[in-house]
Amino acid sequence: MQRDFFKYQAQTTPFAAGFEVDRAEGSYIYGKDGRAYLDFVAGVSANTLGHSHPRIIDAIKEQADKYLHVMVYGEYAQEKPVELCRLLAEATPAPLEVTYLVNSGAEAIDGALKLAKRYTGREEIIAFKDSYHGNTHGALSVAGNEAHKREFRPLLPLIDFIGFNDTTGFDKITEKTACVLVETIQGAAGFILPDDDYFIRLKQRCEEVGALLIMDEIQPGFGRTGKLFAFEHYGIVPDVLVMGKGMGGGVPVGAFMSSKEIMQSLTHSPKLGHITTFGGNPLIAAASLATLQEVLASDLMEQIDRKEKLFRELLIHPKIQKVNGKGLMLAVDLGSAEFTLSVAAECMRQGLIVFWQLYRNRYLRISPPLTVSEDEIREGCAIILAALDAV
């Protein structure tokens, strides 16, 4: 299989692992080599409830027995997407109320940017240095990393970048700004947290000039920081909330959410302001709804603080410089990219899956399923410490 993987499945890195997966359950992925690998990456923050969670599998099977795709987005009322959107409205503060379901995080970002332009009638966008929002042309245009986008220009015009946690850039947010797009916790940059009142001040500035604040919660969403969405830690509510990854519990999905008033601007001038065939697909919505119901009904979010503390207590080693992040999105600074990649490879040899942060390879990524147990945290951290000694 590995040979055909490299021969027929397009690659965009010269160093894909090509790890042959047999099955996955709970916090473990089982390889074709017969070994169990403890998964501290969760498909890059996607497998909120671990692998093959029975509630998600049952929801998918039940929906598959009824119907799959029946119509393009938004034409027919189908139980699972409707229920998902209703529950999202109940679980988030006003004015967040209506949700547009799409197929990926990047598409949700594109949709949110279009929404802001359409609603405000403005053309300019403010994004952040070191940000990552996905890889479509639109999402790449707002990425704050020149190396990843240089070769794909021309991208969207009228986008300017300011520094995360830097209020001096606020004067770039003006009456011409349609929206400010920000990750609540900067992911690719190494899980960088906002300063205490940064978002309060950012929101204030947006309100002063009538720009929409869009928050990208594609990684923190559903529950990864101990709240359903990370903005809830910071005393503000965005005008537009973007989610993806972990909201699916292992299926491809994205969404952007806003007030009824703002979202309605996509229904006219032009009508069909965003179109997607498979957005709101019932099978995907069934999995996402099951994920949301489980996150809300269980005590998983309450456990996050304790699990973060345990990671921080265990990850002490002379080769660890610091641990960034919040909840179960942690980035362990090992000083150099080369060393981090070697440590990740050694962890894999010892049965632990870890990864690195996209822009800052010196950070080892730890984003396990929310369901990871304290024993599994101990087991995985022991492997990391052993790998640090061995490399």
Closer residue to ligand PLP, CB minimum distance, 185 or 341: 185
Least gap, CB of 136 to ligand PLP (angstroms): 7
Mode of pairing for the β-strands spanning 28-31 and 36-39: antiparallel
Nearest-angstrom CA–CA distance, 306 and 294: 19
Closer residue to ligand PLP, CB minimum distance, 50 or 244: 244
CA neighbor of 249 nearest in space, from 206, 298, 208: 298
| Nearest residue to ligand PLP, by Cβ distance, number only | 105
**CB distance 353 to 41 below 8 Å:** yes
Closer residue to ligand PLP, CB minimum distance, 26 or 111: 111
Mode of pairing for the β-strands spanning 254-258 and 322-326: unpaired
106 binds ligand PLP (CB under 6 A): yes
**CB distance 4 to 10 below 8 Å:** no
Least gap, CB of 45 to ligand PLP (angstroms): 7
Closer residue to ligand PLP, CB minimum distance, 104 or 265: 104
Instruction: Let me know the angle formed at the C-alpha of 388 by 387 and 391, rounded to the nearest 5 degrees.
Output: 75
CA neighbor of 258 nearest in space, from 95, 109, 121, 36: 95
Closer residue to ligand PLP, CB minimum distance, 135 or 342: 135
Closer residue to ligand PLP, CB minimum distance, 103 or 177: 103
Least gap, CB of 188 to ligand PLP (angstroms): 7
Could you give the 3-state DSSP secondary structure of residue 372?
coil
Burial class (CB in 10 A: 0-12, 13-18, 19+), 249: buried
Closer residue to ligand PLP, CB minimum distance, 26 or 222: 222
User: Hey, what are 72's tokens?
Assistant: 């393009």
Closer residue to ligand PLP, CB minimum distance, 224 or 381: 224
Closer residue to ligand PLP, CB minimum distance, 281 or 383: 281
Nearest-angstrom CA–CA distance, 301 and 223: 6
Least gap, CB of 57 to ligand PLP (angstroms): 21
Least gap, CB of 217 to ligand PLP (angstroms): 8
Residues 65-94 close enough to bind ligand PLP by CB under 6 A: none
Residues 121-150 close enough to bind ligand PLP by CB under 6 A: 132-134
Residues 28-57 close enough to bind ligand PLP by CB under 6 A: 44
Residues 167-226 close enough to bind ligand PLP by CB under 6 A: 183, 187, 216, 218-219
For the chain, the 3-state helix, strand and coil shares in percent, each to the nearest 5, are 40, 20, 40
Least gap, CB of 216 to ligand PLP (angstroms): 5
> Total number of residues binding ligand PLP (CB under 6 A)?
16
Residues 230-259 close enough to bind ligand PLP by CB under 6 A: 244-245, 254
Examine residue 95 and say whether the peptide bond preceding it is cis (omega within 30 degrees of 0). yes
Nearest-angstrom CA–CA distance, 241 and 243: 7
User: Hey, what are 122's tokens?
Assistant: 């403005």
Least gap, CB of 121 to ligand PLP (angstroms): 26
Closer residue to ligand PLP, CB minimum distance, 134 or 249: 134
Least gap, CB of 191 to ligand PLP (angstroms): 11
Buried b (16+ CB within 10 A) or exposed e, 306-333: ebbeebeeebeeeebeebbbbbbbbbbb
Burial class (CB in 10 A: 0-12, 13-18, 19+), 3: exposed
Least gap, CB of 103 to ligand PLP (angstroms): 8
The DSSP secondary-structure symbol of 348 reads H
Least gap, CB of 331 to ligand PLP (angstroms): 13
110 binds ligand PLP (CB under 6 A): no
Q: Can you give the binding site for ligand PLP, defined by CB under 6 A?
A: 44, 104-106, 109, 132-134, 183, 187, 216, 218-219, 244-245, 254
